[in-house]
Copies of this chain bind each other. A is one copy, B any other.
Amino acid sequence: MLRTKINWIMMISLVVLLGGATWAQAGEEVSSAMFTVNNTWMLCSAFLVFIMHLGFATLEVGLTRAKNTVNILFKNTAIVAIGVLTYALMGFNLMYPGETAAGGWFGFAGFGIGTDAAGLTSAYNVGYTYWTDFIFQAMFAATAATIVSGAVAERVKLSSFLIFSAIYVALVYPVVGMWKWGGGWLDALGFYDFAGSTLVHSVGGWAALVCVLILGPRIGKYSNGTVKAIMGHNMPLAAIGVFLLWLGWFGFNGGSVLSADPGAVSFVFVTTTLAATAGIMGAMMTSWIVQKKPDLSMVLNGCLAGLVGITAGADVVSITSAIIIGLIAGILVVFAVLFFDRLRIDDPVGALSVHLVCGIWGTLAVGIFSTAHSFISQLIGVVVIGVFCSIATVIIFGGLKMVMGVRVTPEEEQKGLDISEHGMEAYSGFQIFISQ
């Protein structure tokens, strides 16, 4: 999703298909009709990415307990607002500071957003206007924070989490994003991340990991030396979430082509879909073999695992590679869930397994399955970003822990956050056993 004006030609030249075909475009000049269709597709992508936020919300609600439902819905609604607003305030201009930051580590083009008339023409970019650019990017930004939300669910203190999200989206996500998509040092290094296996998913995943470690597990999850399942309360919601996320991914990946280029977008649609389906199959087989019974929640995670896995290389790997990447992601995610549980890292929705583990896998897979990209560059990107995000999270979330606390009291946790933090229930009238 590298998108500064200076770099877009380079990017298109990277888009090399199976047989080596390159989609030619008429240089920086496009007809007004072509500009309009490109822009229209980018706006469609923006609304598709938008709907991912509903997907995250329902998935997360579905895989947690009924007594924390209002809290999760509240968090995930607020995050979209916070994410978009902070991105407008400063994130966008931190992430895309312009040519001055080329090859660098940091840049800032000032607070707020705005453009002159040229920002509305193909002089700005052949694929979209300034405003399209902003809205598409802003929809991405909030995603990173939402990933954290799932991992810390059912015990995090609402106010602390909202503050954390605001800071993370305003500062950490755009700075890291600038390294690659803003034309920074990682881009210069040859690191490749098409739509954000690392730049979005791992960036969220690392924060999630650190936050979970700081928070500790939910009460009752690892009692008396055994791992106890805490079952999600609403599987239809979880499934709705995954399908909506998949839907949104057509915009997440398809829009990262940054134009409506027929060959590129349709190819990305195919690789994205095949990876998702292969992820489902991988998780289904693994879960059926390892857990003996086919576990729906694992299969749903498998679908997302495939999607996260293909995100880094959706435009540069072959059809067969896309299936393999998805399949491995689907297998990986099941073991990762079991593995984190063994480590007593309590992640109610599998956010770490899906976004962190498969985000890393997808990024490295570009180095493996695309000859045009170096494994080493990919590895450097993964490691440096991991270290940076983890340290940032330790500072921000650790700081919040000291200043105002990050976890609700055990009584609040046991009563459920809906009653304790919001004074209301999600399913008024329904008889629910809240013994867990």
- B274 x A21 contact (CB < 8 A): no
A424: B residues at CB distance < 8 A: 231, 235, 293, 295-297
Copies per complex?
A: 3
A39: B residues at CB distance < 8 A: 260, 262, 265-266
- How many chain A residues touch B (Cβ–Cβ < 8 Å)? 120
Name A53's closest neighbour in chain B (CB-CB).
B243
A117: B residues at CB distance < 8 A: 17, 19, 21
- A294 x B43 contact (CB < 8 A): no
A270: B residues at CB distance < 8 A: 113, 131, 134-135
A263 on the interface (CB 8 Å rule)? yes
A32: B residues at CB distance < 8 A: 26, 34
Give Cα distance in the complex from A112 to B17, angstroms. Answer: 16
Name A426's closest neighbour in chain B (CB-CB).
B235
Give Cα distance in the complex from A77 to B246, angstroms. Answer: 11
The 8 A CB mask of A208-246 against B (1 = contact, 0 = none) is 000000000000000000000001111111011011101
A434: B residues at CB distance < 8 A: 429
Name A330's closest neighbour in chain B (CB-CB).
B81
Given contacts A33-B34, A85-B277, contact A234 B266 (CB under 8 A): no
A317 on the interface (CB 8 Å rule)? no
- B43 x A427 contact (CB < 8 A): no
A172 on the interface (CB 8 Å rule)? no
A281 on the interface (CB 8 Å rule)? yes
What residues make up the interface of A, taking CB atoms closer than 8 Å to B?
17-19, 21, 23, 26, 31-41, 43-44, 46-48, 50-51, 53-54, 57-58, 61, 65-66, 69-70, 73-74, 76-78, 80-82, 84-85, 88, 112-117, 120-121, 128-132, 134-135, 138, 158, 231-237, 239-240, 242-244, 246-247, 250, 254, 260-263, 265-267, 269-270, 273-274, 276-278, 280-281, 284, 292-297, 299-300, 303, 319, 323, 421-434, 436
Give 3 nearest A-B pairs by CB, closest first.
A120-B263, A21-B117, A131-B266
Q: A88-B274, A112-B319, A240-B240 are in contact. List 20 more A-B contacts (CB 8 A).
A: A21-B120, A40-B40, A69-B235, A73-B239, A80-B277, A80-B280, A81-B276, A81-B284, A85-B278, A85-B281, A129-B266, A130-B266, A132-B269, A135-B269, A231-B425, A234-B427, A236-B237, A292-B423, A293-B421, A431-B431
